[in-house]
């Protein structure tokens, strides 16, 4: 059995995956504006030997449901939501090994300033930073920037390709490895002949500048990606080092994993140059019956309308206009295509109805959920690894920090006993820990091809 990876899947907001659970008396999501809350959460994850904390994000309000942001604001559906990157300094200071994956959209960022932001984060974390590359999907985010509408799905990936070309050159080509001298005696900090101006004149971006940051431990951050549309898979095959996968059943997820590995091979990479992380919900307790009781307790706090607000934003379709007991049919979407596919094709026995997907803790719903004792949970995670060929999990927990504490204290030791999870961290940067092959991207990665040798 291969050693799995574990990430915690969170958002700097009052709610993320399970709408309404902020009302639970033991949930601390209302503390999301309290820095101490995030510091303690990071310490908990490091105690559990988690590889990283993955912070979802996105600019824009979920206003598809009902054609208005009112329901999202009323239920706290990913609004209010704060910048996740500003939490990293404090969490990094309180930990030594935990990685930090942060979501940034190529349609929201400017390559020059973004490259400096990432280099800064990589410096202050001693090489523990990762970037989740997204292309955006909310019309409200586009309008917030002054655009009339969101750019088409496939064109967003064209933009992403050019964005990557620019930031790779800033990170890898602008400063040579030995450019920084720090020569106190002669008063020379860096050798100007080894710091190079990057020029780019493309369709979407123009640049004529020297990278503002000296080389960070990893230079290029660990690259995460989540798209499993045809364009997303092609992009992942070329750029991604870790890909987040979702799906209702191992057969669905396994098919997506296979496509991603094949895409890597088509780009001259190894099929295992990309690690795949499955999004999964876990409710653990000392016994199965205790876990079932927790599941029932948590489920009473689910906000069905909030759940539909979230899904409407994901798929770009107003679910308030559909019959609650009617099936969710295939539609054309400019939003997240894999989630729409889960909703419309994920249940082969009968199509899911709108009512079916209104409870994110429904065990027969679109998002896998594991409820049980340490043995039961470990058995199910092992089944996903074997049947779907995933490399690990993006762990979603309903009650924070209680559910994560349960996982760390109960499930992690069982996984370690089975040889499925590490007992101690490796050394080096986040990339070192994930792959054991050095701090920088390997020679077959596109970022390495612009690197000055």
The pLDDT tens digits of the residues spanning 42-73 come to 999 999 999 999 999 988 899 998 999 999 99
Residue 251 lies in a domain: yes
How much is the pLDDT for 403?
97
Overall domain count for the chain: 1
How much is the pLDDT for 419?
97
Low-confidence ranges of the chain (pLDDT < 70): 329-351, 453
> Which residue, among 167, 136, 170, 12, has the nearest Cα to 85 in the 3D structure?
12
How much is the pLDDT for 333?
52
Residue 9 lies in a domain: yes
How much is the pLDDT for 360?
81
Backbone angles phi, psi at 156, to 5 degrees: -60, -35
Specify the pTM.
Answer: 0.93
Residue 427 lies in a domain: yes
Report the CATH number at residue 15: 3.20.20.30
Residue 84 lies in a domain: yes
Instruction: Tell me the C-alpha distance between 426 and 423, whole Å.
Output: 10
Instruction: Tell me the C-alpha distance between 62 and 85, whole Å.
Output: 21
From residue 299, how far is each of 67, 293, 302 by CA, in Å? Answer: 27, 10, 5
Give me the count of residues in the chain: 453
Residue 302 lies in a domain: no
Backbone angles phi, psi at 392, to 5 degrees: 175, -160
Instruction: Tell me the C-alpha distance between 58 and 409, whole Å.
Output: 32
H helix intervals, 63-152:
70-75, 88-93, 111-124, 139-144
Residue 42 lies in a domain: yes
How much is the pLDDT for 344?
58
How much is the pLDDT for 350?
63
Residue 336 lies in a domain: no
Residue 361 lies in a domain: no
How much is the pLDDT for 326?
74
- Give the structural domain span for 377: 5-285+368-446
């Amino acid at each position: 059995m291969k050693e799995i990876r574990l990430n915690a899947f969170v958002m700097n907001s009052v709610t993320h995956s399970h709408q309404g659970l902020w009302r639970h008396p033991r949930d601390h999501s209302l503390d999301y504006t309290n820095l101490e809350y995030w510091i303690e959460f990071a310490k908990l994850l490091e105690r559990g030997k988690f590889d990283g904390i993955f912070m979802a994000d996105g600019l824009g309000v979920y206003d598809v449901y009902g054609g208005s942001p009112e329901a999202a604001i009323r239920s706290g559906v990913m609004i209010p939501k704060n910048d996740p990157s500003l939490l990293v300094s404090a969490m990094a200071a309180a930990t030594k090994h935990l990685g930090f994956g942060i979501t940034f959209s190529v349609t929201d960022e400017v390559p020059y300033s973004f490259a400096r932001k990432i280099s800064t984060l990589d410096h202050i974390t001693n090489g523990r930073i990762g970037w989740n590359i997204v292309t955006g999907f909310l019309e409200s985010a586009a309008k917030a920037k002054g655009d009339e509408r969101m750019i088409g799905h496939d064109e967003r990936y064209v933009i992403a390709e050019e964005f990557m070309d620019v930031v790779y050159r800033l990170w890898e080509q602008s400063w040579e490895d030995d450019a920084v001298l720090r020569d106190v005696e002669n008063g020379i900090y860096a050798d100007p002949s080894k710091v190079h101006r990057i020029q780019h004149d493309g369709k979407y971006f123009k640049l004529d500048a020297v990278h503002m940051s000296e080389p960070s431990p990893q230079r290029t951050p660990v690259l995460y990606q989540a798209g499993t549309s045809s364009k997303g898979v092609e992009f992942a095959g070329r750029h991604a080092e870790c890909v987040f996968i979702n799906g209702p059943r191992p057969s669905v997820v396994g098919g997506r994993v296979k496509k991603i590995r094949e895409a890597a091979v088509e780009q001259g990479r190894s099929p295992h140059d990309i690690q795949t992380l499955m999004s999964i919900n876990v409710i653990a307790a000392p016994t199965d019956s205790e876990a079932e009781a927790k599941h029932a307790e948590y489920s009473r706090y689910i906000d069905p309308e909030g759940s539909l607000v979230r899904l409407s934003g994901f798929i770009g379709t107003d679910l308030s206009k559909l019959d609650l007991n009617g099936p969710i049919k295939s539609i054309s979407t400019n939003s997240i295509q894999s989630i729409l596919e889960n909703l419309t094709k994920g249940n082969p026995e009968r199509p899911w109805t709108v009512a079916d997907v209104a409870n994110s803790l429904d065990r027969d719903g679109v998002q896998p959920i594991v409820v049980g004792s340490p043995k039961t949970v470990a058995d199910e995670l092992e089944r996903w690894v074997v049947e779907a060929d995933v490399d690990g999990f993006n762990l979603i927990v309903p009650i924070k920090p209680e559910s994560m504490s349960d996982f760390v204290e109960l499930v992690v030791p069982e996984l370690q006993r089975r040889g499925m999870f590490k007992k101690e961290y490796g050394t080096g940067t986040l990339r070192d820990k994930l792959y054991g092959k050095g701090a920088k991207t390997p020679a077959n990665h596109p970022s390495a091809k612009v690197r000055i040798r």
